[in-house]
Amino acid sequence: MNQERVVKTGLLGLGTVGSGVYKLVECQKDEMAMKAGAGLKIQKILVHNMNKKRKGVDQSLLTDKWEDIINDDEIEIVIEVMGGIEPARTYIKAALEKGKHVVTANKDLMAMHGHELLELAGENHCDLLFEAAVAGGIPIIRPLKQCLAGNNITEIMGIINGTTNFILTKMKEDGMDFGEALQLATDLGYAEADPTADIEGYDAGRKLAIMASIAFHTPVTFDDVFTEGITKITAKDMRYAKEMGCSIKLLGIAKNTETGIEVKVHPTMIPENHPLAAVNDSFNAVFVHGDAVDDAMFYGRGAGALPTGSAVVGDIMDVARNMLFHCNGRIGCSCYKNLPIKRIGDTTSRYYIRMRLEDRAGTLAAMAGVFAENDASIAILLQKETIENDAEIVVVTHEVAEKKFMDAIKKFSSMEMVKEISSIIRVYALGNI
Q: What is the CATH number of the domain that holds 190?
A: 3.30.360.10
Gap between the Cα atoms of 254 and 211, Å rounded: 8
Q: Is the pLDDT of residue 433 over 80?
A: no
- Same domain for 399 and 316, yes or no, is no
State the DSSP code for 48.
S
Q: Helix count (H) and strand count (E) of the chain?
A: 14, 17
User: What residues does 287 pair with on adjacent strands?
Assistant: 157, 297
Structurally, how many domains does the chain consist of? 3
Helix (H, G, I), strand (E, B) or coil at 315: helix
- Same domain for 167 and 267, yes or no, is yes
**What pLDDT, on a 0 to 100 scale, did the predictor assign at position 384?**
75
pTM: 0.94
Q: Tell which wins on pLDDT, 86 or 330.
A: 86
Nearest CA-CA partner of 298 in 318, 276, 282? 276
Phi and psi angles of residue 284, each rounded to the nearest 5 degrees, phi first: -115, 160
- Same domain for 122 and 175, yes or no, is no
- Same domain for 114 and 204, yes or no, is no
Q: Is the pLDDT of residue 4 over 90?
A: no
Evaluate whether residue 1 is within a structural domain. no
- CB proximity list for 137: less than 8 A, separation 6 or greater: 300, 301, 302, 304, 306, 307, 308, 310, 311
- Same domain for 105 and 176, yes or no, is no
Which CATH number covers residue 17?
Answer: 3.40.50.720
Alpha helices in 12-87 (DSSP H): 16-28, 32-36, 67-70
- Same domain for 78 and 158, yes or no, is no
Q: Which of 271, 292, 324 is the last residue of a domain?
A: 324
Which CATH number covers residue 379?
Answer: 3.30.70.260
| pLDDT average, residue stretch 151-174 | 96
Residue 42, CA distances (Å) to 2, 25, 315, 369 in order:
18, 8, 15, 67
Residue 357 pLDDT grade (very low, low, confident, very high; cuts 50, 70, 90): very high
**What pLDDT, on a 0 to 100 scale, did the predictor assign at position 430?**
65
Nearest CA-CA partner of 111 in 211, 18, 199, 194? 211
Q: Is the pLDDT of residue 431 over 70?
A: no
Gap between the Cα atoms of 196 and 217, Å rounded: 30
Report the catalytic residues: 207
Q: Is the pLDDT of residue 432 over 60?
A: no
Give the DSSP H or E segment for 165: helix 162-174
Evaluate whether residue 401 is within a structural domain. yes
The pLDDT mean for the chain works out to 94
- Same domain for 124 and 105, yes or no, is yes
Condensed to tens digits (0 to 9), the pLDDT of residues 175-187 reads 999 999 999 999 9
| pLDDT average, residue stretch 128-133 | 97
Whether the CB-CB separation of 125 and 329 falls below 8 Å is answered with: yes
Instruction: Print the domain residue range for 210.
Output: 150-300
Residue 135 pLDDT grade (very low, low, confident, very high; cuts 50, 70, 90): very high
Condensed to tens digits (0 to 9), the pLDDT of residues 264-306 reads 999 999 999 999 999 999 999 999 999 999 999 999 998 889 9
